Structure 1
Amino acid sequence: MNRIERIAVNWVLFIIVSLAVLAVPLYMIFRAETVLSKGNLYLFKVEPRDPYDPFRGRYLDIRVQQNYVENCKKDFSPGEVCYAVIAKDAKGFAYFSELSTQPPAAGDYIRVKFRWKNKNKSLIELPFGRYFVNEKIAPEADKLLAGFFTDPKDCCVLKVKVKDGQALVSGLNLNGIPIEEVVKRKMTRDSR
């Protein structure tokens, strides 16, 4: 192989590797956009978080109330990947109805990790626990969320889109209003 052929082969290999490097993030973006645009929306109630857990980065620490499956018939090992089937209660809030080793044939589910079994509850690790916000409103949003659960009538809901086992957070509402809007209103009131 002469010098020109080697250069041509190197260029072809470089182009193939470059395309492969670009294909991975493009596929991840495409998959996320597909979940957001075509996924089914589920509303998960959020529980009060530990007020001493510091705000880390530019996201809010979120804990879903129902991060377990009741009366699970199967046994799993801690850390084992499993599939949590999603159902809705009478008020329209999401909960996990069962755990399986395989994706179900029908219905929505999320790929999760089994944590441990506690009496009749099988606890799971959800693929979402952070809600990212604009860095300008992040400190105020964290304070607002930390003090939000003083009234039992208050309802904090995490909006999650689900498709083919993939779950993406699409919003966080406080009493039906997006947290970004609540924070902006509060900041506007405080600046007057």
Structure 2
Amino acid sequence: MKTKHLLLLFGLVALVQIIVPASMIFKNQEILKNGTVYKFKTAPVDPNNPFVGKYISLNYNLNSFPSTDSIWEGSDKIYLYLTRDQKGFAAIKSVSKVKRNDTKDDFVVAKVNYAFRGKVYFNLPFNTYYMEEGKAYDAEVAYREQQNDTITYPTYALVHIKDGQAVLSDVIIKDIPIKDYVSKK
């Protein structure tokens, strides 16, 4: 009888270990398939962490918003309600400390860095783009070089957003996905 219970418990644990990652994958695929795509302009940064692998670390030009609220504190959640600028890039329409139910605007949850002189500064949650190890260094070099010409060809990240969740799907250099751009060089 004890063996039967142990086998049942083992089966349940194995099932949970399959269901949890599968649900995370399904959630991200749902966002990629049905989320709204925004282009976020990027800024240059550092690309490697020996513990998690090869990646491009992304900074964004969109990192602050005017706010008269002076009680923002570091690591507070901030809800960023999005729109697009004249060139089609992501822009912030408004910010809030709490999720608003009075709007249908897409939003993303970020973390506050600090508030200073009428602005709140924050970190966007999609700042790491993982690459195939063999292409990561070339991608980093191409990304850094392209940051010098952000007017003609702005480098940007494609981010799918749905119900406050965001998935970074690609980084674009000179209107070409970074994986393809690196392969051409």
Note the residue ranges of structure 1 that are not aligned, 5 or more in a row: 187-192
Deviations 1:77-98 (A, max 9, x none): 2111232111111211102222
Question: 1:6/1:149 Cα in 2 relative to 1: closer, same or farther (>3 Å)?
Answer: closer
Question: How far off is 1:33 after superposition?
Answer: 0.8
Please give the alpha-carbon distance, in whole angstroms, between the structure 1 residues aligned to 2:140 and 2:4: 56
Please give the alpha-carbon distance, in whole angstroms, between the structure 2 residues aligned to 1:23 and 1:108: 28
Deviations 1:97-136 (A, max 9, x none): 2222332322211111111012122111211111122222
Residue 104 (structure 1) aligned with residue 100 (structure 2): yes
Residue 161 (structure 1) aligned with residue 157 (structure 2): no
Note the residue ranges of structure 2 that are not aligned, 5 or more in a row: none
Question: 1:144/1:165 Cα in 2 relative to 1: closer, same or farther (>3 Å)?
Answer: same
> In structure 2, what is the equivalent of residue 94 of structure 1?
90
Tell me, yes or no, if the aligned pair for 2:154 and 2:173 is still in contact at 8 Å. Answer: yes
Question: 1:178/1:66 Cα in 2 relative to 1: closer, same or farther (>3 Å)?
Answer: same
Please give the alpha-carbon distance, in whole angstroms, between the structure 2 residues aligned to 1:28 and 1:119: 39
Tell me, yes or no, if the aligned pair for 2:115 and 2:121 is still in contact at 8 Å. Answer: yes
Question: How far off is 1:72 after superposition?
Answer: 5.2
Q: Helix, strand or coil for the counterpart of 1:66?
A: coil
Aligned residues: 179
Question: Which among 34, 41, 45 is matched to residue 37 of structure 2?
Answer: 41
Question: How far off is 1:156 after superposition?
Answer: 0.5
Question: Which among 61, 81, 93 is matched to residue 85 of structure 1?
Answer: 81
Tell me, yes or no, if the aligned pair for 1:39 and 1:162 is still in contact at 8 Å. Answer: yes
Alignment of 1:117-128 (within 5 A): 117-128=115-126
Question: 1:72/1:41 Cα in 2 relative to 1: closer, same or farther (>3 Å)?
Answer: farther
Question: How far off is 1:184 after superposition?
Answer: 1.3
Q: Rg: which structure is higher?
A: 1
Question: How far off is 1:31 after superposition?
Answer: 0.7
Please give the alpha-carbon distance, in whole angstroms, between the structure 2 residues aligned to 1:45 and 1:54: 17
Structure 2 counterpart of 1:17, one-letter code: V
Q: Which moved more, 1:70-79 or 1:148-157?
A: 70-79
Structure 2 counterpart of 1:174, one-letter code: I
Give identity over the alignment, percent.
27
Residue 22 (structure 1) aligned with residue 18 (structure 2): yes
TM-score scaled by structure 1? 0.85
TM-score scaled by structure 2? 0.88
> In structure 1, what is the equivalent of residue 133 of structure 2?
135
Q: Whose strand proportion is higher, 1 or 2?
A: 2
Question: How far off is 1:74 after superposition?
Answer: 6.8
Please give the alpha-carbon distance, in whole angstroms, between the structure 2 residues aligned to 1:72 and 1:108: 22
